[in-house]
Structure formats: structure tokens, C-alpha cells
Structure 1
Amino acid sequence: MTTTLRVILDQIVAPVPGALGQYTRDLGRAIVAASPANCDVEAIVSSSLPDDYDRVLSEVPGLSGLYKTSLARRELAAAWQLGVTTSPGGGMIHGTSLFAPLRKHPRGGGDQVVVTVHDLLAWTHPEALTAASVAWQKGMMKRARRHADAVVVPTHALAERLAQVADLGDRVRVIGTAPRSGLVVGADADERAARLGLPREYIVVPGTLEPRKGLVDVFTALGRRGVPELPVVILGPEKWGDQHVATVADESGVDASRIRHLDDLDAPDLAIVISRALAFVAPSHDEGAGTALIEAFSLGTPVIHSDAPAFLEVSAGSGIAVPVMGDDGYADRLAAAITSVVSDRSLAERLSLVGSDRSRAFSWRDAGERVWQLHADL
């Protein structure tokens, strides 16, 4: 007899897959690779175009098939929020987000629904989302509290914060992330670096101008007296609302000519950008996961990060942690950390080594095996 685990892979073909799409693809592959004997993995996908179905099968090879819902993504999201559809039936279902058919069913039987929570922005920073997204996430969390057999989070830090939002008892499970697939430096590294126009020396910063992301704090730090005037590669959108990265940098005392903006890079290009940086600076005030740090560690790049609990958990002392504790003071502390790493070669080498070692604690294979173990325990 074959046991089938159905995984909701719809984010792969979402209009903007984003980081969640990468997570969905890589976890889907890991679940397939870790399948026990006599177990299959089937994808659940909303009603889509044939090319979208082909893409899912291509990006997650080894699937036993696709379950195609009768509703398109937007309609399906609304239906699942209201609990008005029984699609896609029973069995074991694993959601890579809150997007899942959460409905009443007997616990401990053959029917299981597991969902994943990646952040709590709808509660902590609702201004970062649309009103519709906030309402949907809060509505789905209520359904998860009532009907989910388990809720997966990427860090213990997020699990602790989730407990303040929803009483899930012992149903929360921590299953970590890993570097996205393809994040390796290939033989064509020099060609890619030239095409991207990378400076000889630079620091790299992920994020947007959204206040909680800390990019403005980095610009303020770089504008401080005595901080090396290195080029800065920004990984993220060029604008946030009516604010522009170059303009905000200039207002912080950082010449716009030092700013290089790159967004939506494929994995090999991203690997080149991160691996050649003198430092990877992750200044975000609030994060649910630490995947960006894991990726930088895996490429041997010295990491400077905020003391956001998820970052501290993932880093485990392998990077330089900078306490946020207030805007102006935070910028000064970032300035000191950046200066020390780019000016002290021995410190940079030590961070590179310990970061590389730390990255080995995270793998998609482990995540896939943990998903199967979770469903077996249920």
C-alpha cells in the first residue's frame, strides 16, 4: 500500500513567487528526495494554465502527480479563508504557508493538515502589508488555531512569538531552512561579475527602505566619519513607496555613486554577489527566519547582523551581532562593526571560517526528513 503526502506547491506559479516561492520549491524537492519506502508526493496546485502545471512538475521532479483544484488562486484563497470548500479532500496535506484547506476533521486519523508560518507581520508590522493581506493572514491564523494538526515555523524565536498571537499548544514544530538551490559559485564567476558590474571591493546589504528592514540605518552608519567609503550593493527593490534608495543614501551622507542596486537575481548571480563581498550586512530589526544569513555563511562571507532573535538563533555566534536598541545608537554600532570587519583581515577570515562551519547545520535534506517525521508523528 502506498502512502501519499500532498504538498501545496501553488506558490511556485504565483504571479510573484518571491522568497516563499523559493522555499516552496526547495522544500518540495527535499520532501520528494526524503520520501520513505512506499510513499509518494503529490502536488496541490490551483486551477492554472497548462504551462504552470508543467513548471511545477519541472521544478519539483519526482512528483507522483498534480491535484488541480477547480478554483484559480485568488478565488481559492478566499474560499479557504471562509472554509466554504472541501477541495482537495482528505489525506495528508502539507502547506508551505497558511494557504491551505483548513477545516474541521478528526484528529489522529488519516486526515492531516499542516501549515507553515514564516512571519507575523500582520500583527507586528501591518503597515508593511496591504489591508487585504493582513485580513487574510489573520483569518487563516484563526482557522489554523482551530483546525491545523501542526504549524511549522523556521525558528524557535518565531515559535515563541507565535505563542503570543495564537494558542496552538504543542502543535508548533520548528523546521529550519537552508540556502536556496543553485547558490554556488561556478566556473563562469568572473564573467558573471563583469556582467553585473561588481566593484572590486564592496559590502552587500539585503533589504528595502521599509523602516524595519534597517537599510536606512546602514546608510546612516556609512555616512559616519571614519567608516571606509566602500561601494554598497543593495539586494532589494530600488524604491519603497515614494522613496528612492539613491536619494535616501545621499541624504544620509553616502554619495549615490557608491550605490549599486541589484534585484531579482538568479541563484548563480546571487552567489557571485555575496561571495565576493567584504561583508554581508543584515540590519533588519525584525525577522522570522534567518535564511539570508545561512546563505551568506554557506558562501564564506563575513556576516554582520542585527540582534533580532531569529538572527541570533541562526547565527549562534558565527557573525557579529549588533544590538538595535534605538535608531541613532544602532547606526553607530553598525558603523563600528562594518569598519572592524572590512579593516581587519584576520577578523574577516575568522568570520568566514566559523560562518562556513555554521552553514553545515542547515540542509534541505534535513528539512524534508523532518516533514515526513512530523506527519508520521501525527
Structure 2
Amino acid sequence: MVTLKFLLDQLVAPVPGGIGRYAENLAREVISRAPAGCEVEGIITPPKSEGAPTVEQIEERFPGLAHLEVTKLSRSTLAQSWSRGLLTGAIGGGLIHAPSLFAPLQPLGSDGGVQTVVTVHDTVPWTHPETLTSNGVRWHKRQLKRAWQHAAAIVTPTHAVAEQVAELYNFGDRLRVIPGAPSRDVHLPENPDEAAERLELPDTYILAVGTLEPRKGLNKLVEALAKIPDAQLVHAGPDGWGDVNWDSLCADAGVERSRVKSLGFISNTDLAVAYDRATVFCMPSIDEGFGLPILEAFRAGTAVVHTDVPALMEVAGGAGIHVPLADESTFVERLSVALKNVLGDEELRESLVTAGHDRFPIYSWGYSADLVWRLHADL
């Protein structure tokens, strides 16, 4: 029996974020589509962060998982050790698939037949280091260098990120693209009206989804909101870092706090309701590696406005309205105009909805899982 060790540690991270959703959805399909004679073992560190799922809860989320191994050492200990080439044998050898750079990279050809594949979701530590913590930037840079030295292959979620990574290191044919897709868990509940009432969603609103952090461009979105009279903003996502909070963002932009509703981290079914009831979904990020929320908005039948970040342009495929980031002095004005146009033009919204419905089926977790197995077989 061939065992693929799949690192699921992002699920117990303090903020699982988009990488956590990528890891969970991909792992489920990798498990269900395992070839004959192959199985998948999950690897996590001890769940210690507040609100983290238990080991039992994680096991329940992955039917067919052969085994869920919990490391003896903490996530922080392993992260720092692995980035320095220490304790890389902590989870043994064999086939290892890491849906992030959190991986025990050992020299190629080392004892134990180690074959480690890592995933690079974006190049933000190089392009926009100011939007991350200094420790996070250093860690990512060390890990990517180690991946260049020791990884059997490097996965990116888009061709845009693959091109950016190739400019940093020459990975040759070790560089592969395995995209994400809309999550099956993000679906409407039996009574969406009841959920919308419980969430106290406005009749008309702009929706933003993602961790509340500098890179997401939510400060610019609030500034744009100030230029759209009576418009309301709803945000779904956990708090992040960088002293970013809605009270200060609204105060700085001169927007009444009541015009912004923060749902925090919500369930997948509640998220589906938020997408479904939104008038327009906006992704004002200054950098991204994929853009899963765009696909989820497309599937929900919601018009999309986004920035011209290369990965977002690739994922949207022209099915949304994009606002170029160039010329920062006019960006907020241009973003507000785009949002006003969509909010006020039903025919435009309908055309965007149709385009989105045609776009999102291109992406499939089943296809991505098949690419994972094909990659490990090729190696």
C-alpha cells in the first residue's frame, strides 16, 4: 500500500484562511480519488489555538482518511525548526504533500525515499512585505529557498503565481499549477430566509469576504463606500493582524460605523446566504494567489468587482468588472464608480451573473485532486 501523507495543519492554525479552505477541499478529493493500492494519511500539529477543531472533529471532516497523525511538537516549533533544516524527519519519509510551505523539507535523495511537494499560494512576502509581519516574511523566504533546494515539486494555484515564483527561483519542470475551486460546503441551508434574518443582512449591500488584514484592501473599500451614499457593506471573515479593525477603518474614511456590518467568521451555509443575498461582491485586494471567493460569488449568482491582480484576472476570466490598481491616487474613486455602476444597473448585474455562471464550472476539486495524484506518480 502506497501512503500519501497530506499535511492538514492549516486547519488548526489560529486563522485557517483561504489556505485552510484550499487544503480541506483538496484533501477530501485526494482521499476520495485515491488510485487502487493508495491511501491518504493526514498530519496535524496539536490543536491549541482558541476555537480550533478537535482531532475527532477533523477526522469526521475527511471520510476515508486512513489515519490522522498528531505530531508531538507544536506548530510554531516545527515551523521554525523546518525553516532551518531541523527536525525534518519528524513525520517520517515517503510521499508528502503540503498545501502550503509548512513542510519538512529534506535533501532530495535522502534516506527513506522522501518525496515532498509544497504549495506556494502567492509571492506577497516579496511583492508586498509591508502587509505581513516581519517574522512571516522571513519564514516564507527561508522556506521557499529550502523548497528550491529540496522539494520534489512546487505547486501554485494559478499560472500567474507560477510565473512570479519562477522569477524568484529557477524550479524548471518542478513547478506545477493545481488550482482551487468553489467549496461544496458553501451551499444554501434549507431555510435561507431564516438565516438572512438571523444575520440581519440588509436588503441591498456590497459583500467582502476574507481575513481582516492589510493585504485585502478593505481600507480602500471603506473609502470607496464613503463616495456611495446609502450603500452598505457586509464583511464575512475572521480578524487578522496589523491593527486593522472596522471602527478605525470607518473613522479614518469618515463612514458611519452603522453602514458596515461585520459578521466575523461564519459557517459555510451562512456564507452561502451572504453571497446569495449580496447585490455585488467586491474583492479589492492588492495581491492574491488565487481568488476562491470570486468563484464562490460566481456560483451564487452574484456580480463581482475586483482589482487587476494577475491571479484574480486569471480566475475571473473577464466575468467580473476589474479596477486597475495602478495610479493609487485615483483608485478609490474608480472603485466607487465601478460599484455604483453595478449597484444601480440591473441589466449590468444580470450580464455579470450570466458570465460568472459560465466561468465557475471550469474549476473542479476533482480535477485538482487528479492532478495531485498524477504529479506524485510522475515524480
Q: What are the equivalent positions in structure 2 for 1:142-221 lying under 5 Å apart?
A: 142-206=145-209, 210-221=213-224
Q: In 2, Cα distance between the equivalents of 1:208 and 1:326?
A: 25
1:253 deviates by: 4.2
Q: Structure 1 residue 48: deviation in Å?
A: 5.8
1:184·1:271 contact (CA, 8 Å) conserved in 2?
Answer: yes
Q: Which amino acid is 2:100 matched to?
A: S
One-letter code of the match for 1:147? H
Is the 1:238–1:261 contact (alpha carbons within 8 Å) kept by the matching residues of 2?
no
2:34 maps to a residue whose letter is S
The Cα offsets for residues 194-229 of structure 1, whole Å up to 9 and x where unpaired, read as 1111111111123567554222222232323xx352
By how many angstroms is 1:238 displaced? 6.5
* Aligned mates of 1:327, 1:105 — CA distance in 2: 44
Helix, strand or coil at the partner of 2:92: coil
Mapped pair 1:8 → 2:11: no
Equivalences for residues 1-378 of structure 1 within 5 A: 2-46=1-45, 52-85=54-87, 86-106=89-109, 110-206=113-209, 210-224=213-227, 227-236=228-237, 241-242=242-243, 244-378=245-379
Q: Distance in 2 between matches of 1:209 and 1:327?
A: 21
CA distance in 1, matches of 2:83, 2:10: 17
Q: Which amino acid aligns with 1:88?
A: I
Length-normalised TM-score, structure 1: 0.92
Give the Cα–Cα distance (whole angstroms) in 2 for the partners of residues 250 and 70 of structure 1: 45
Tell me if structure 2 keeps the 8 A contact 1:298–1:356: yes
- Relative to structure 1, the CA distance from residue 232 to residue 139 in structure 2 (aligned partners, 3 Å threshold; closer, same or farther) is same
SS at match of 1:186: coil
Instruction: Tell me which amino acid in the other structure corresponds to 1:223.
Output: A
Distance (Å, rounded) in 1 between the aligned partners of 2:210 and 2:62: 28
> 1:111, CA displacement in angstroms?
3.2
State how far apart, in whole Å, the 2-side matches of 1:247 and 1:131 are. 23
- Alignment CA distance shift 1:228-1:302 (3 Å): farther
Deviates more, 1:351-360 or 1:177-186: 177-186
Q: 1:252: Cα distance to partner?
A: 2.8
Q: Deviations over 1:288-323 (max 9, x none)?
A: 111111111111100011111011000111001111
**C-alpha spacing 1:232/1:117, structure 2 compared with 1 (3 Å):** same
Separation in structure 2 between the aligned mates of residue 171 and residue 243 of structure 1, nearest angstrom: 38
Check whether the contact 1:228–1:339 (CA below 8 A) recurs between aligned residues: no
Query: So what's the TM-score if we normalise by structure 2?
Result: 0.91
- Match of 1:111, as an amino acid? V
How far off is 1:47 after superposition? Answer: 5.0
1:124 deviates by 2.2
Contact kept, 8 Å, 2:3 with 2:38, in 1: the verdict is yes
Aligned-pair identity (%): 44
> Is this contact kept in 1: 2:187–2:272, CA < 8 A?
yes
Partner SS, residue 180 of structure 1:
coil
Deviation at 1:186, TM superposition (A): 2.1
In 2, distance between residues paired with 1:364 and 1:292?
15
Unaligned ranges ≥5, structure 2: none
CA contact (8 A) 2:108 2:151 kept: no
Contact 2:157–2:178, Cα closer than 8 Å, also in 1: yes
Question: What's the C-alpha RMSD, in Å, of the aligned pairs?
Answer: 2.2
Q: Where does the alignment leave 5 or more consecutive residues of structure 1 unmatched?
A: none
